[in-house]
Amino acid sequence: MSLVRHKLNPELLENGIAAVKKGRPVALVLSRPRDLIHEVCQKLLLSDQQLRRMMVAMEKSMEKGLDRETASTAAVRMLPSYVCAVPNGTERGGFLALDLGGTNFRVLLIRLKEKEAEMTGKIFRVPENIMRGTGEALFDHIADCMAKFMQEHDLKDAQKLPLGFTFSFPCAQEGLTKGKLINWTKGFNASGVEGADVVTLLREACQRRRDIDIDVVALLNDTVGTLMACAFVENSCQIGVIVGTGTNACYMERFDRISKISDYVDEEGLVPEEMIINTEWGAFGDDGAMDFIRTEWDDVVDRQSINPGKQVFEKMISGMYMGEITRVVLEDLARQKLLFGGNFEAISRPHCFPTKYVSEIENELLEDEDRTFQKTFQILEDIGIETVSSNDCVNVAYVCSLGFRAAHLTAAGIAVLLNRMGKPFVTVGLDGSVYRFHPTYPKLLDEKIEQLVNKGLQYQLMLSEDGSGRGAALVAAVATRLKLEKLVAKLAASH
Ligand code: BGC
């Protein structure tokens, strides 16, 4: 295979790269197709006006999800978590945590000490045939991994540890330990789970094997775990966001605004002041509310997915789709003869351009002082594209940099929550592979929130250190602490 490497105009190249570094992607292309590529990709550049229009639509959708009358048809489901308090720092003890939400499943043993969480854990793969097989096989696999972990850590005979189960899919919870899966996302499709209580499925799988005994005290979404893990170290954390394989956010909502559960009272008969709401914002746009921003490329990615028409916002943002959108744009440009000399066959293979390539190519743009584009050449060569020119590399880097649309859409979502809460200072806990590993995403996100948030409101972004695991232990710990406090109060009252 022959790679054609043209000399680049260094001045133009540096100007373009400087713009990308500042988070202002411009057409970096240096030859004739420049304007054309710029024009074709224009629709991926969202103006603040479009983002603000989206924010209005998102808040409307959220209100629909909270309202008793309209909740059942809302695209953004706004699911109550039944978590009404964040950690107060006094939580102590040992907990088990299970974390299912992507291609991996984790079992963790967590010891909470003063402001610290000591963790030991093991990661197990969830093979694709299990992700898309039967629900029974999936939960048997989970129980099997747990049993292995408990044996390795000599926990089988130990006193039953309270367990927090982070299950990162939309669940209609009826309490802290009960939740029915509404629908699978992120490539999962195990049969017989949608509509079922996942805690019961977990307990039944453990009972089938008879060698492990569990005490599930909390079921939670990964966003809730992220919020709780950050709140453990920074009390002002009131929003949790994940931008990884999927995307979602949760936040502390005033209870009087959650009319769909207005008759809820806790075990003491008290009405909570606030409750964490799992927004499930990944489904925003499933009712067409994002159509004014979506492109034909988003449409292609959606149609090829296993859940067409679902998780519209997630498909424009998260790691599971970012590489694929980029690939679809590159394929389109190649078909229009604006890239790779019109050679489009290799880039037409679905999923041949994983999200990590987007990060790697952007990284090279930022770090490779000599502009050799060695990595980018290598990636394009690996995909099987022949006759790649240096110009193509610059253009591919430009298309990759348009992934900043994802950061701007997430920023708009976070700004909706900050503005809605209207609290003077809020910490936003964030986690997920895109937030962690994409080179420009965190900066672009921060800058855009700043522009979209109402005047007078302050916020800070905080990387959550393993929120899904730590958070599960913390929700379990808060539940256990509250239970104990109530028991003590009851005892005191009876004396
Ligand atoms: C799920 C959410 C989850 C998010 C991040 C989405 O696909 O629906 O429940 O929080 O992914 O993992």
CA of 156 to the centre of ligand 1 (A): 31
E-only strand ranges, 221-266: 237-243, 247-254
Which whole-number Å values give the CA distances from 382 to 162, 346, 359, 400, 490, in the listed order? 48, 10, 16, 17, 67
pTM score: 0.91
Q: Return the structure tokens found at 45.
A: 């550049």
pLDDT at 25 over 50: no
The structural domains of the chain, with segments of one domain joined by +, span 88-229+466-494
Report pLDDT digits (tens) over 400-451: 999 899 999 999 999 999 999 999 999 999 999 999 999 999 999 999 999 9
Give the pLDDT score at 495: 74
Ligand 1 atom closest to Cα of residue 311? 7
| 224 C-beta closer than 6 A to ligand 1 | no
Pocket probe mutation, ligand 1, options 167, 181, 227, 247, max atoms within 8 Å of Cβ: 247
CA angle 197, 199, 204 (to 5 degrees): 100
Residue nearest to atom 8 of ligand 1 (CA): 169
| 468 C-beta closer than 6 A to ligand 1 | no
Contact between 221 and 168 under an 8 Å Cβ cutoff? The reply is: yes
Q: Return the structure tokens found at 219.
A: 């079921």
pLDDT top residue among 26 and 453: 453
Of 64, 99, 140, 186, which one is the catalytic site residue? 186
Whether 186 is catalytic: yes
Ligand 1 atom closest to Cα of residue 186? 7
Report pLDDT digits (tens) over 445-463: 999 999 999 999 999 999 9
DSSP state letter for 206: H
Residue 431 main-chain phi, psi, to 5 deg? -155, 175
Whether 157 is catalytic: no
Report pLDDT digits (tens) over 159-216: 688 999 999 999 999 999 999 999 999 999 999 999 999 999 999 999 999 888 889 9
Of residues 257, 168, 275, 267, the one with CA closest to residue 219: 168
Report pLDDT digits (tens) over 49-103: 999 999 999 999 999 999 999 999 999 999 999 999 888 878 888 999 999 997 7
Contact between 251 and 239 under an 8 Å Cβ cutoff? The reply is: yes
Give the pLDDT score at 5: 36
- By DSSP bridging, strand 79-80 and strand 274-278 are antiparallel
Domain 88-229+466-494 -> CATH class = alpha beta
Report pLDDT digits (tens) over 352-389: 999 999 999 999 988 887 888 999 999 999 999 988 99
Residue nearest to atom 11 of ligand 1 (CA): 246
Q: Return the structure tokens found at 157.
A: 């005979």
CA of 147 to the centre of ligand 1 (A): 26
Ligand 1 atom closest to Cα of residue 242? 5
Of 99, 140, 197, 222, which one is the catalytic site residue? 222
Pocket probe mutation, ligand 1, options 103, 221, 279, 312, max atoms within 8 Å of Cβ: 221
Calpha distance 439→167 (Å, rounded): 28
Pocket probe mutation, ligand 1, options 222, 224, 434, max atoms within 8 Å of Cβ: 222
Supply the DSSP string of 115-148, one letter for each residue: TEEEEEEEEEE--HHHHTSBHHHHHHHHHHHHHH
